């Protein structure tokens, strides 16, 4: 099954015989530490207008555990994640479509968590809400309780040691901006740089100017150029959100990849772990 769905395809499915559960995951990376700006309020954006029938899911509170030594967005408690999904109306046999404001990172995090915990029919709205041309709603739905029971392990997951090993034996992609990979700036985490051996592969380069993923053939060329074929592939980012978007892009290109969910925020919190800087992977 394709991991993405276009806005016209979604419009047709919502009035079809098997409409998907819609999850609104609007979220933005908080830059308050660096800029002093107020954090983005995804719930307020949702309440101002969302796809009809969509349920809001809070990434920070419901798709991540409390920040700490495991990173800024560690994986949520699996049982609690299951409760959140059931409250949103998610059932094992019902298709799910997730979307955000258009960047795709937050929606990909929800996609990855659902796929990792065993849901087989989950897609991301390509281009997010920005690609939707239909009407929006301010009505807050009350869906019937779903029956989804999460069972982790359907997708590959890396810890810090596994990421370090994969950087030596396979391909480990760093989905953050190049300047953070090189260690030139670090607005959020303790120190800049990258895991030794990781390759810089900003997930922003997987999308076009319209915010949608590049065509499949272009993604295939990009990942082949990075050596991400016929080998084990892993991805990390700052905290396991934009990295999920790169895993999504790899899936669209036909490449299974593991996610290091703790990512740089976990790696860099331990001063004993090595840090590489500059454009050289090592």
Q: What is the mean pLDDT of each run of 10 residues along the chain (282 residues)?
A: 94 95 92 62 96 98 95 97 98 97 96 98 97 96 97 98 98 98 94 97 97 97 96 98 98 98 97 96 92
Same domain, 49 and 121: yes
Same domain, 92 and 54: yes
Same domain, 172 and 263: yes
Structural domain includes residue 202:
yes
Instruction: Dump strand ranges (E) for 77-213.
Output: 96-99, 122-125, 157-158, 171-174, 199-200
Structural domain includes residue 139:
no
Compute the distance between CA of residue 102 and CA of residue 99 in angstroms, rounded to an integer. 8
pLDDT at 39: 80
pLDDT at 76: 98
pLDDT at 147: 98
Residue 244 annotated among the catalytic residues of the structure: no
Same domain, 116 and 195: no
Structural domain includes residue 109:
yes
Question: Which of 55, 166, 201, 237 is labelled catalytic?
Answer: 237
- For residue 205, what are the contacts with CB-CB under 8 A and spacing of at least 6? 222
Whether this model's pTM surpasses 0.85? yes
Same domain, 86 and 178: no
Same domain, 110 and 165: no
Compute the distance between CA of residue 163 and CA of residue 168 in angstroms, rounded to an integer. 9
Cα 6 → chain centroid:
18
Same domain, 99 and 21: yes
Domain residues for the domain of 16 are 4-131
Structural domain includes residue 66:
yes
Identify the helix (H) or strand (E) that includes residue 79: helix 78-87
Q: Number of structural domains, the chain?
A: 2
Same domain, 121 and 9: yes
pLDDT at 170: 98
Same domain, 180 and 249: yes
Structural domain includes residue 227:
yes
Of the candidates 95, 113, 131, which is a domain's last residue? 131
Same domain, 10 and 117: yes
Same domain, 125 and 171: no
Structural domain includes residue 205:
yes
CATH code for position 53 = 3.40.250.10
pLDDT at 40: 84
Can you spell out the DSSP letters for 17-77? Answer: SSPPEEEE-------HHHH-PPPP-HHHHHHH-BSTT-EE--HHHHSS---BTTBSSPPPP
Structural domain includes residue 281:
no
pLDDT at 1: 72
Phi, psi of 118 (to 5 degrees): 105, 0
pLDDT at 31: 53
Same domain, 262 and 186: yes
Residue with tokens 């796929």, as numbered in its chain? 115
Identify the helix (H) or strand (E) that includes residue 4: strand 4-5
pLDDT at 37: 64
Structural domain includes residue 9:
yes
């Amino acid at each position: 099954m394709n991991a993405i769905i276009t806005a016209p395809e979604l419009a047709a499915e919502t009035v079809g015989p098997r409409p998907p559960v819609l999850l609104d995951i609007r979220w933005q990376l908080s830059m308050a530490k660096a800029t002093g700006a107020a954090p983005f309020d995804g719930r307020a954006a949702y309440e101002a207008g969302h796809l009809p029938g969509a349920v809001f899911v809070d990434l920070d509170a419901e798709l991540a555990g409390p920040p700490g030594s495991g990173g800024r967005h560690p994986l949520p408690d699996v049982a609690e994640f299951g409760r959140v999904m059931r409250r949103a109306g998610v059932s094992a046999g019902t298709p799910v479509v997730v979307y955000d404001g258009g960047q795709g990172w937050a929606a990909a995090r929800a996609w990855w968590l659902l796929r990792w915990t065993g849901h087989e029919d989950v897609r991301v709205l390509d281009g997010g809400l920005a690609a939707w041309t239909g009407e929006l709603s301010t009505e807050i739905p009350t869906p019937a309780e779903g029956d989804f029971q999460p069972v982790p392990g359907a997708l590959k997951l890396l810890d810090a040691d596994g990421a370090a090993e994969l950087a030596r034996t396979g391909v480990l992609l760093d989905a953050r901006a190049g300047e953070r990979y090189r260690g030139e700036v670090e607005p959020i985490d303790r120190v800049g740089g990258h895991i030794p051996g990781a390759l810089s592969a900003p997930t922003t380069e997987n999308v076009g100017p319209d915010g949608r993923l590049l065509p499949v053939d272009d993604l295939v060329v990009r990942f082949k150029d990075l050596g991400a074929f016929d080998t084990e592939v892993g991805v990390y980012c700052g905290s396991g959100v934009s990295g999920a978007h790169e895993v999504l892009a790899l899936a669209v290109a036909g490449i299974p990849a593991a996610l290091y969910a703790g990512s740089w925020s976990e790696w860099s919190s331990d001063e004993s772990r090595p840090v590489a800087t500059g454009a050289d992977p090592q």
